[in-house]
Amino acid sequence: MFRKVFVLWSILIGFTIFISIQSYTQDAPEVSAKGKEVYEHSCAHCHGIEGRGDGSAAENLLPKPRDFTRGLYKIRSTESGELPTDQDLFDIITDGMPGSSMPGWESQLKADERWEVVSYIKTFYDGFKERETPPREISLEGKIAYSAESAQIGKTLYTDLGCIECHGNVGRGDGTSAPTLTDAWNDRTWPANLAENWNFRGGTDTEDIFKRFIGGIAGSPMPAFEGDSFLHFGLSSEESKRLSEMENKDEMTPEEEEESGKLYEKMDEAVLVALDRAEGTELTPEAQKIYDDAMKVVAEKSWHLANYVKSLSPEKRPETAIGNNSLRSQYTVEELPIIEDEAWNTLEDSYYPLVGQVVIEPRQFNPTIDSVRVKSFYNDTEVAFLFTWHDRTHNIEVEENEDTGTSYEDGIAIQFPVKPPKGPTDEKPYFLWGGKKPVYVWQWKASEQDKITELTVKGVNNVTVQENQGDLNVKGEYKDGEYRLWVKRALTTDDKKDLQLEPGVFVPIAFSAWDGANGDKDIKRVMSSWYSFVLEPVPSSRRFIYPPIVALLSVGFLIGLRGFVQRRNSASDEAETEQ
Amino acid sequence: MKRISLFTICFVIFIACWVFLQFVIGGVISKPIPNSVIGMYMALVLVAILVHVSVEDSRFKEFLRPVYETLVDDRYRVRRLVLVIVIPLLLTGFSYTNLAQKTPPPGDPRDAHPTPPLELKYKDEVIETMQKAQNPYRHYEKDDPETFRSHVENGKKVYYDNCFYCHGDHLDGQGHFAHGLQPLPANFQDPGIIPNFQEAYFFWRISKGGPGLPASGTPWNTAMPVWEDHLTQEEIWDVILFLSDYTGYKYRTFGEGH
């Protein structure tokens, strides 16, 4: 009896596991009319009826919607040169691609509809049909868990492998090649800003980053590490280190010439094996060993590098500085800190996301500046702000370029109403450069980094440079893909066209920014709607007076209550004894 | 076993009610409830408990007994000492946090459904009174489905050229620019949006945008542009057709009760 039950249970559990594995990684179903219908309803306006990535909305988008006819897929769990698995396609449809206009479809399409779409998308590229064996998936074996040491090794690799060429010294996507990159369709593409992982298209886990290294990002300039000689593919870590040492010398001795020659031969051999393997040739046991050894080193380096990249960004996009997160300028009795001062590090950043200006022509549909962050101190007479924002390129003049088009000057503008609203129902000026109600603007341009122009603006075509300039102390700088702008001003000025500041009063603030290399100029820009900030008043000293009084009163009350009850009890006792 | 006193029962019920409101309803089931609302409910609970215990004299005495005992009985000296320290400490902490609070940011008393003007206008041209204005292409839905489809298709194109950056690929107000806007763009998948308004109302909100909102609806902060500067009347009516066609919701028409 017991055995029977046991067997039944085992079958049941086995079946459940089978089902759950089935639903975990799955192959797409046969192509169906349903897939076509869903595709044409939900996908075609961007990706095109024929899957060429040329739907009517595609014109204004960058990155462009994927062209499914070339079999190039950025986000894969498969090795370099392989097509994605069905599960990869399904996951992208489900989760979307952050930082692009591709949303996740989990809320809109049922799982079986998403699977039908996977099947349908595959019909656009014959390679899927011709594929005989399942694609080779990237092995995640030998994962190196995050540690400061591993990230440090990764940091060295980051420089040695040349990642800085595109991604910049500290990873803000500001490398020297950044402005020149195009993808397989000849569309402009920007290297990822590794400090803003919420825009990573394929996920932020160390595993996700690792897969991008091993498999590359197909169609983009991001190379795959497998079989690539810049990684010294085929050499052990020691050999690779030795080769770099020798290569960095001005002149090699004859012995070193010979030694490095041997190492080059070893690398060539390994690269050839990798090529054979990619072409589907059966490897001899010796060749297999060469390949396995080489890949082991590549994987190890990639894990360290992935740990370093992971360390460059906050876990997720910071909370927007609105409501209780609003910017609060910190009071200090001392002189306000200058731009280099360490005191700024004691404050938290207030984060303001910026988006493209799509209201007035020419519009900016594809912004490259993610956000601006602000910190502020004030004292009895002055206020100081520190604005920071990421921009991959430092543009200080108009430049013509045949390949990438004209680039303009970078800049930022900080916008306030001339008069703070009197109450929550008092109307603010129009968020985009004011209107009937004027706005007071600090305009800063990258070519004159220690100067701000004060403007009074009543709409895009009504910009007046204020007669009274020079109330502001300004210092700007650009380094490693980041602008920092420091502004100091008196709380109150004599100019009626200026905003006057007072502690405890919330004041609306909005931003515009220009990345010249992205074609931003004048009204074409990135911007925010209104937020608000306050010079946080010095906390009331009453907080040290009232609480002790409350404590004394409550103790007194409790003692009094006890006395009252005691007296009443003894009174009623007496009354009882009298009875 | 010692009987649990009435006071303890009431105390436990009171705390349980608070936990239920704060964490079960306000966390597991739905969104957090504002403190003021919880305060109101808790006041009701307190009144209910007090009514219950004071209905009979004996019950009230039974209820107060542990309080008296704690206050005077020699057996409860330790409990008394603990309470005389804990209660003032709590009150002191409470008054300190209240006084040390940061300046609250300005509230947002925005009117979600502003009152439309009496006349529907495109630029300066009066189209019709707001009540009578109809989508001139709506009748094709019955009369000429093919023409109707072409208008919907055109509306879809208009939507993806202009609207979807903010209002989203799913028409749910979650476009890839939405995170930078406050208030959030309208969510057309919300059952409270399309079915509550006439097509003319949508035409008004699209054509006049944020700057066209009435003074009574201030302070509008919406970044909704004035689309009559960029779109033709036909394009606006077409995109209105597309919104209901895609979501499956029907606009409100006159003749239905309010």
d(CA A367, CA A446): 18
Q: Which of B117, B96, B120, B141 is nearest to B228 (CA)?
A: B120
| Average pLDDT score, chain A | 90
In CATH terms, the fold of domain A323-535 is Immunoglobulin-like (2.60.40)
Question: What is the SS3 assignment for A89?
Answer: helix
d(CA A474, CA A486): 6
B219: nearest CB among A100, A101, A425: A425
Distance of CA A313 to the CA centre of its chain: 8
Question: What is the domain partition of chain A in residue ranges?
Answer: 2-130, 152-173+204-311, 323-535
Question: What is the SS3 assignment for B189?
Answer: coil
Per residue in A193-218, pLDDT (tens digit) is 999 999 999 999 999 999 999 999 99
- What is the structure's pLDDT at A278? 84
**Cβ-contact A231, A301 below 8 angstroms:** yes
The average pLDDT across B111-137 equals 89
Judged against a pLDDT cut of 50, whether residue B116 lies above it is answered with yes
Q: Do A529 and B221 touch (CB under 8 A)?
A: yes
- What is the structure's pLDDT at A21? 47
The average pLDDT across B100-105 equals 78
Buried b or exposed e, range A342-376, using 16+ CB within 10 angstroms: ebbeebebbbbbbbbbbbbeebbbbbbbbbbbbbb
Does residue B157 sit at the A interface (CB-CB below 8 Å)?
Answer: yes
Distances, alpha carbon A218 to alpha carbons A4, A27, A84, A118, A544, in Å: 54, 22, 10, 18, 63
- What is the structure's pLDDT at A347? 96
**Cβ-contact A385, A339 below 8 angstroms:** no
Other beta carbons within 10 Å of B141: 17
Q: Which residues in chain A (46-65) have CB-CB distances under 8 A to chain B?
A: 46, 55-57, 60
Provide, rounded to the nearest whole percent, the portion of chain A with pLDDT above 70. 94
B84: nearest CB among A427, A540, A555: A555
Sole residue written with tokens 């938290």: A348
With a threshold of 0.90, tell me whether the complex ipTM lies above it.
Answer: no
Q: Do A536 and B177 touch (CB under 8 A)?
A: no
- What is the structure's pLDDT at A328? 95
The size of chain B, in residues, is 258
- For strand A482-490 and strand A472-479, is the pairing parallel, antiparallel, or unpaired? antiparallel
Per residue in A261-320, pLDDT (tens digit) is 999 999 999 989 988 988 888 899 999 999 999 999 999 999 999 999 999 999 999 999
Those residues with Cβ within 8 angstroms of residue B59's Cβ, 6 or more apart along the chain or in another chain: B6, B53
Q: Of A303-317, A445-459, B67-81, B184-198, which range is least confident?
A: B67-81
Other beta carbons within 10 Å of A557: 13
Q: Do B92 and A548 touch (CB under 8 A)?
A: yes
The nearest alpha carbon in chain B to A547 belongs to B92
- What is the structure's pLDDT at A545? 85
The average pLDDT across A33-52 equals 94
Those residues with Cβ within 8 angstroms of residue B236's Cβ, 6 or more apart along the chain or in another chain: B122, B158, B203, B206, B207, B227, B228
In CATH terms, the fold of domain B119-247 is Cytochrome Bc1 Complex; Chain D, domain 2 (1.10.760)
CA-atom Rg of chain A in angstroms: 32
Does residue A8 sit at the B interface (CB-CB below 8 Å)?
Answer: no
**What type of residue sits at position B4?**
I
Top-level CATH class of A2-130?
A: mainly alpha
- For strand A482-490 and strand A439-445, is the pairing parallel, antiparallel, or unpaired? unpaired
Judged against a pLDDT cut of 50, whether residue B257 lies above it is answered with no
d(CA A252, CA A317): 49
Buried b or exposed e, range B81-96, using 16+ CB within 10 angstroms: eeeeeeebeebbeebb
The average pLDDT across B83-104 equals 85
The average pLDDT across A372-392 equals 97
Does residue A543 sit at the B interface (CB-CB below 8 Å)?
Answer: yes
**CA contacts within 13 A on the Cβ side of A15:** 6
Those residues with Cβ within 8 angstroms of residue A368's Cβ, 6 or more apart along the chain or in another chain: A190, A391, A392, A515, A517, A518, A526
**What type of residue sits at position B65?**
R
Q: Which of A373, A377, A418 is nearest to A535 (CA)?
A: A377
Long-range contacts of B162-167 (CB under 8 A, 24+ apart): B162/A358, B162/B227, B162/B230, B162/B231, B162/B239, B163/B239, B164/A57, B164/A101, B165/A101, B165/A355, B165/A356, B165/A358, B165/A365, B166/A358, B166/B223
Q: Outline where DSSP puts E strands in chain B.
A: 119-122, 125-129
Q: Which of B175, B183, B172 is nearest to B224 (CA)?
A: B183
Distances, alpha carbon A417 to alpha carbons A440, A468, B42, B251, in Å: 6, 17, 43, 38
Distances, alpha carbon A275 to alpha carbons A199, A272, A285, in Å: 33, 5, 16
Nearest-CA distance from B103 to chain A in Å?
Answer: 7
Q: Nearest 5°: CA angle at A231, between A230 and A237?
A: 140
Nearest-CA distance from B110 to chain A in Å?
Answer: 8
pLDDT category, A22, cuts 50, 70, 90?
very low
Delimit the CATH 1.10.760 region(s) of chain B.
119-247
Judged against a pLDDT cut of 90, whether residue B105 lies above it is answered with no
**Cβ-contact A191, A180 below 8 angstroms:** no
Rounded-to-5 percentages of helix, strand, coil across chain B: 60, 5, 35
pLDDT category, A574, cuts 50, 70, 90?
confident
Strand partners, A521: A524
**Cβ-contact A231, A80 below 8 angstroms:** no
Per residue in A496-553, pLDDT (tens digit) is 889 999 999 999 999 999 999 999 999 999 999 999 999 998 877 777 888 889 889 9
**Angle at which helices B35-54 and B57-72 cross, to 10°:** 110
Nearest-CA distance from B252 to chain A in Å?
Answer: 24
Distances, alpha carbon A45 to alpha carbons A56, A438, B155, in Å: 6, 40, 12
d(CA B121, CA B129): 9
| Average pLDDT score, chain B | 88
The more confidently predicted of residues A324 and A93 is: A93
- What is the structure's pLDDT at B35? 82
pLDDT category, A10, cuts 50, 70, 90?
low
The average pLDDT across A46-62 equals 93
Judged against a pLDDT cut of 70, whether residue B1 lies above it is answered with no
- What is the structure's pLDDT at B258? 43
Q: Of A159-163, A188-192, A326-330, which range is least confident?
A: A159-163
Judged against a pLDDT cut of 60, whether residue A65 lies above it is answered with yes
- For strand A507-514 and strand A531-535, is the pairing parallel, antiparallel, or unpaired? antiparallel
Per residue in B163-222, pLDDT (tens digit) is 999 999 999 999 999 998 888 899 999 998 999 999 999 999 999 988 888 877 666 678
Topology agreement, domain A2-130 and domain A323-535: no
d(CA A27, CA A87): 7
The average pLDDT across A454-481 equals 93
**What type of residue sits at position A257?**
E
- What is the structure's pLDDT at A405? 81
d(CA A169, CA A116): 44
- For strand B119-122 and strand B125-129, is the pairing parallel, antiparallel, or unpaired? antiparallel
Per residue in A115-125, pLDDT (tens digit) is 999 999 999 99
Other beta carbons within 10 Å of B181: 20
- What is the structure's pLDDT at A9? 64
Q: Do B100 and A539 touch (CB under 8 A)?
A: yes
A543: nearest CB among B84, B99, B210: B99
